[in-house]
Amino acid sequence: MAHIPDGFLSAPVLVGTAAASAGAVVAATRGRARFAERRAPLLGALTAFVFAVQMLNFPLGAGASAHLLGGVLVAVMVGPWDGILVIFSVVLVQALLFQDGGIAALGANTLNLAVLGAGGGWLVYRWAFILAGRSRQLLAVGIAAFFVAVLTGGAVAAELALSGAVPLTPALVAVGGSHVLVGLSEALITVGILRMVRRARPELLADAPLPSAVTRRWVVGTTAAAVLLAAGSYLASTRPDALEAAVARLGLDRVGVATSLPWADWWPGGPWGRALVGIAAAFGLAWLVFRVAARRDGAL
Amino acid sequence: MSFRHLDHWAEVPSLVTRLAPPARLLAMVAVALGAALLPMGAWPQMAALLVLVLAFAATARIPAPAFAARLAGPLFLVLLASCAVLVLAPGEPLWALGPIRVTDTGLVRFGSVVGRATPALGAAVVLVSTLRFPELLEALRKLRLPSAVTTALGLSYRLLYTLADEIERLRRAARSRNAGHGAAGRRRTAMGIAAASLVRSYARSERVHRAMLARGYSGALPQLHAQPMDVRSVVVLLAVSAIVLLVVSSAWL
């Protein structure tokens, strides 16, 4: 259920996802006057390709088959911005002509499939490419295709839960869980296709810029720290830490909080609203850091 | 092949086909948005929007069986997806089969999802049945969709069925060679077909670009049959928007 039909999402989710998607599509076209002149035929051909190849079933065994989502494949070939435009065009035609995905839910579907699928897919691909190196480019593609499919499933589940259609946990288990299988098939198909393309036309995949040594050290360092944190959290003691112990010993935990931050109650939407603001702030910060790092490497 | 198999009623003279394409597209978006904004359990309002869509289908002279047949496919997918809502929503159990429980809340949410999706799908069916693809592109251009997207869509319209035919030819050739034994073999064959189509898409885009430059392409595709936004289109669009607004407001007030 990567394409959400009309009827499932609530008004705030429809508006929020539409605004985010519109921003991403405008960002993908802004300041790129060269696009229409040189890239339009290629993007038109890729839009037609994604559309046509989505009609093709790839047998997985045991009577099951899958079709390609294509976000990571397109982003690896033409970059994140053009990838967003190609997948947005596909999603738009599917919604308008074939009723595959709702018109009102177009913003949510664009966010899930184009912005996360192609834009997010390219980010994961670059991260994995920097870690794996050029000789393992297809491994990076596979990792990106898998993670992005799971991320898309998670996003669909979160949107359904935010709309009050289903509770978050069952939605994550049902939609997110099924997208783990989708991710495996997406990785298998994307890597298989790109391996054959690389054999026939290696120059189509060869222009991925290599990162500088500094960027590579940063990526390796932050990834190692994240893995250590994730693994270490399982080994952490359940007893209170030094600060909590000191607070308990002094009896401060029994003292009521007299004041709170002035903006604590200002955000609408309760904990969900605060969570969304936090996610948006973290995303904005990460995007800024990425832009600066990528500009230094000449990737953008 | 072309998208012409979708727009059977685009040539039929009717009030709907006489409207400017942007007005038709916006009216459809208004109905879809209005349906999406209805609260759970707003049954009379959902029925009102469906009646509005059916009136449009009748005005466009789309035969009822054809309309129902076109609506059935996407509606079936919605029904399939809504089953999860039916069994996952918490509430007072009405019916249980082992661990699967249908609750009162689940039933209301299931009905609401189907009730909101049906007018939106119906509006899309009316639009697709009465609007040619070049008119749709013209409407998207007039509605200020980025030219990058409309240009890519215009070119993909030209290439899609060429590519689909090519994929079918490659599949036929693979079958005639008995290519692909077992699931793994068939998967490898399908990947080969997809990879060959991708490489050919690149090559074709380069040829098309050269041909376009030779014909004086300067970054914008020429527009044919541009239908102006006349008074009648504006009036109908305003009337549809007002009805949708009234229906949605009555559900919330």
Please tell me which of the candidates B40, B148, B190 has its beta carbon nearest to residue A85: B148
Closest to A58 (Cα-Cα) out of A179, A152, A192, A194:
A192
Instruction: Say whether the ipTM exceeds 0.85.
Output: yes
Per-residue pLDDT tens for A150-160? 999 999 999 99
Question: What pLDDT was estimated at residue A265?
Answer: 59
pLDDT at B161 (0 to 100)? 83
- Residue B164 above 90 pLDDT? no
Per-residue pLDDT at A36 exceeds 60 = no
Top-confidence range, A148-162, B183-197, B223-237: A148-162
| A152 neighbors A117 (Cβ within 8 angstroms) | yes
Residues of A in contact with B186 (CB under 8 A): 59
DSSP label of A60? E
Report the residue of B50, B144, B186, B198 to disrupt the A interface, i.e. the one with the largest count of A CBs within 10 Å: B198
Q: What's the mean pLDDT in A219-245?
A: 75
User: What pLDDT score does A101 carry?
Assistant: 86
- pLDDT higher at A32 or A140: A140
Across A40-53, average pLDDT: 87
Q: Average per-residue pLDDT in chain A? A: 81
User: From the list B73, B164, B194, which residue is nearest A193 (CB)?
Assistant: B194
pLDDT at B217 > cutoff 70 = yes
Domain A1-208 in CATH 1.10.1760.20? The answer is yes
Q: Which residues of B touch A41 (CB under 8 A)?
A: 155, 205-206, 208-209, 212
pLDDT given for residue A256 in this prediction: 56
DSSP assignments along B85-136, one per residue = HHHHS-S-EEEEETTEEEEHHHHHHHHHHHHHHHHHHHHHHHHHHH--HHHH
Mean predicted confidence (pLDDT) in B175-197: 82
Statement: residue A142 has pLDDT above 80: yes
Strand pairing report for B100-103 and A58-61: unpaired
> Per-residue confidence at B94, pLDDT binned at 50, 70, 90?
confident
| Contact residues for B175 (Cβ-Cβ < 8 A; gap 6+) | none
Give the pLDDT score at A181.
87
Of A1, A33, A99, which is closest to B74 when you measure between CB atoms? A99
- d(CA B222, CA B69) in angstroms, rounded, equals 35
**Is B155's CB within 8 Å of A32's CB?**
no
Higher pLDDT, A186 or A272: A186
- Pick from A79-93, B75-89, B197-211 the range whose average pLDDT is largest: A79-93
Where residue A272 falls among pLDDT bands split at 50, 70, 90? low
User: Do residues B126 and B16 make contact, with C-beta atoms less than 8 angstroms apart?
Assistant: yes
Higher-confidence residue of A23 and B89: namely: A23
Q: Provide the residue type at B177 as one letter.
A: R
pLDDT digits (tens, 9 = 90+) for B2-56: 555 677 788 888 888 899 999 999 999 999 999 999 998 899 999 999 999 999 9
Asked if pLDDT for residue A167 goes beyond 80, the answer is yes
A81 vs A104: CA distance, rounded Å: 23
pLDDT at A99 over 80: yes
Of A20 and A175, the one with more pLDDT: A20
pLDDT at B112: 92
The answer to whether A71 touches A83, Cβ cutoff 8 Å, is yes
Answer yes or no: are the C-beta atoms of A71 and A118 closer than 8 Å: yes
Residue contacts between A and B (CB atoms, under 8 Å): 236
Query: Average pLDDT for residues A259-286, to the nearest whole number?
Result: 65
Per-residue pLDDT band at A208 (split at 50, 70, 90): low
d(CA B17, CA B12): 7
- Closest by alpha carbon to B145, among B229, B25, B242? B25
**What is the structure's pLDDT at B27?**
94
pLDDT at A296: 61
CA angle B139, B204, B189 (to 5 degrees): 110
Q: Which residue of A has its CA nearest to B185?
A: A59
Residue A19: per-residue pLDDT: 93
- Out of A57-71, A87-101, A146-160, A162-176, least confident range: A57-71
Considering CB atoms only, which of B36, B114, B156 is closest to A44? Answer: B156
pLDDT at residue A235 tops 80: no
Q: In the numeric block, which tokens belong to residue A158? A: 């979160």
Could you give the residue ranges of the DSSP H alpha helices within A133-269?
Answer: 137-162, 168-171, 177-200, 213-235, 242-250
Give the pLDDT score at B45: 95
* pLDDT at residue A262 tops 60: no
Name which of A150-154, B66-70, B138-142, B147-151 the model is least confident about: B147-151
pLDDT at residue A98 tops 70: yes
Residue in the block written with tokens 């669909």: A156
Query: B191, A196: Cβ pair inside 8 Å?
Result: yes
Quick check: A35 and B148 CB within 8 A?
Answer: yes
DSSP A131: H
Domain limits, chain A? 1-208, 210-300
Q: Which residue of B has its CA nearest to A6?
A: B117
Q: What is the pLDDT of residue A270?
A: 65
Q: Is the pLDDT of residue B190 over 60?
A: yes
What is the average per-residue pLDDT within A98-116? 91
